[in-house]
Amino acid sequence: MNNDLVKLKKFSQKIRIDILNMVNDAQSSHIGSCYSIVEIIVSLYCKILYVDPENLSDVNRDKFLLSKAHGSCALYATLAELNFFPLENLKKYYVDGGILPGHLDKTVCPGVEHSLGSLGHGLPVGVGLSFANNLDNNKGQIYVLIGDGECNEGTIWEAALFAGHHKLNNLTVIVDFNKIQSFGDVDDILTLDPFGKKWESFGWDVVEIDGHDFQQLIDAFMLPHKKPKVIIAHTVKGKGVSFMENSLDWHYKSPNTQQYEDALKELMILK
């Protein structure tokens, strides 16, 4: 494996440990939803996005929206590790007197573009950002990460229709397709199949990849596109900790002492 990919893996490992500590300290939920998107967020912030703490007022910079904002810890940890705000703020997640709420609040967290938390909001806002950039000839690309369950929301499809019609070629959506939503399996509740074809019929370029494979992620992001692009990222809910993987429980549960230690032990090994 090349050096670059090893670095990304090591960084992801750090993010997963940050998340574990945050969720454990706060005894909060959604660790499984965070673990499925770590590689997506890390590849974006380390390899793709033209954004850093110093260029936030640059109209040509890129913008990222985490529409499935219950995965906030993954973004908080990445932003903190990349110096958007002090690392010690991660200890102030979800606790009484804290700074970082369970869902995104841009007023307390530099690097967060838009406060989100209710599903189906990020994509319409991203579409607005993308439309404005095209209109003003700004170079910035817009990236929106949505959940598979989130695709139950009508606004996803309202926005998809609009983006396809207007050929928003500066817009990329990533779907965290981990196959589990709030109260069961996606296929049992509201199947998305044929998922790729749906997007395609709405006028989008579609790429399907393994959402934990850095090379595939980077290649998918780099693919040029004349229409809006959706990257359907096949992921594993709870990825990285064996007993959390593919389990609905870890959409809600927070670890007890033994589970915390077991998870930490697994995460310390670079896979």
Partner 1 sequence: MRTTFVNTLTELARKDERIFLITADMGFSVFEGFREEFPDRFLNTGIAEQNTIGIAAGLALSNKIVYAYSIIPFITMRCFEQIRLDLAYNNTNVKLVGVGAGFTYGPMGSSHHAIEDIAIMRSIPNMTVLCPGDPFETEELVKRSYENYGPMYIRLGKNGEPTIHKNKNRIEIGDPITVTEGNDLIILTTSNTLELAKNWVDEWSDEGIKVNLVSLPTIKPINVPSIQKLIDRDIPMITLEEHSIIGGLGSTISEIIAESGKGIKFKRLGICDSFSHHVGGSKFQRKKLNILQKPDKSWFFK
Give the whole-angstrom CA distance, residue 228 versus residue 169: 5
Three-point CA angle 43, 145, 265, nearest 5°: 55
Question: Residue 113 in 3-state DSSP?
Answer: coil
65-89 as b/e, with b when 16 or more CB fall inside 10 Å? Answer: bbbbbbbbbbbbbbbbbbebbeeeb
Strand residues in the chain grouped as ranges (E): 63-66, 142-147, 171-177, 180-181, 184-185, 205-210, 229-234
Phi, psi values for residue 135, rounded to 5°: -65, -40
Span 38-77, contacts to partner 1 by CB under 8 A: 59
Residue from 125, 174, 241, 244 in contact with partner 1 (CB under 8 A): 125
Closest approach, Cβ 129 to partner 1, in A, equals 4
147 makes contact with partner 1 (CB under 8 A): no
Asked if residue 150 lies in contact with residue 66, where contact means CB atoms within 8 angstroms, the answer is: no
162 makes contact with partner 1 (CB under 8 A): yes
Span 72-101, contacts to partner 1 by CB under 8 A: none
158 makes contact with partner 1 (CB under 8 A): yes
Question: Tokens at residue 191, please?
Answer: 């199947």
Residue from 49, 90, 123, 220 in contact with partner 1 (CB under 8 A): 123
Residue from 96, 154, 257, 271 in contact with partner 1 (CB under 8 A): 154
Q: Which stretch binds partner 1 (CB under 8 A): 33-41, 123-131, 172-180, 251-259?
A: 123-131
Asked if residue 172 lies in contact with residue 221, where contact means CB atoms within 8 angstroms, the answer is: yes
Closest approach, Cβ 95 to partner 1, in A, equals 22
Nearer to partner 1, 111 or 238 (CB): 111
Residue from 1, 135, 222, 270 in contact with partner 1 (CB under 8 A): 135
Nearer to partner 1, 23 or 127 (CB): 127
114 makes contact with partner 1 (CB under 8 A): yes
115 makes contact with partner 1 (CB under 8 A): yes
136 makes contact with partner 1 (CB under 8 A): yes
Question: Tokens at residue 172, please?
Answer: 């990329």
Residue from 32, 71, 111, 126 in contact with partner 1 (CB under 8 A): 126
Indicate left, alpha or beta for 137 from its phi (over 0: left) and psi (-120 to 50: alpha). left
116 makes contact with partner 1 (CB under 8 A): yes
Asked if residue 171 lies in contact with residue 229, where contact means CB atoms within 8 angstroms, the answer is: yes
127 makes contact with partner 1 (CB under 8 A): yes
Residue from 48, 159, 231, 241 in contact with partner 1 (CB under 8 A): 159
Residue type, 80: A
Question: Residue 181 in 3-state DSSP?
Answer: strand
204 makes contact with partner 1 (CB under 8 A): no
Give the whole-angstrom CA distance, residue 68 versus residue 70: 6
Residue from 131, 203, 206, 225 in contact with partner 1 (CB under 8 A): 131
Question: Tokens at residue 262, please?
Answer: 């077991």
Give the residues lining the site for partner 1 (CB under 8 A).
Answer: 59, 106, 113-118, 120-121, 123-133, 135-136, 138, 154-155, 158-159, 161-162, 165
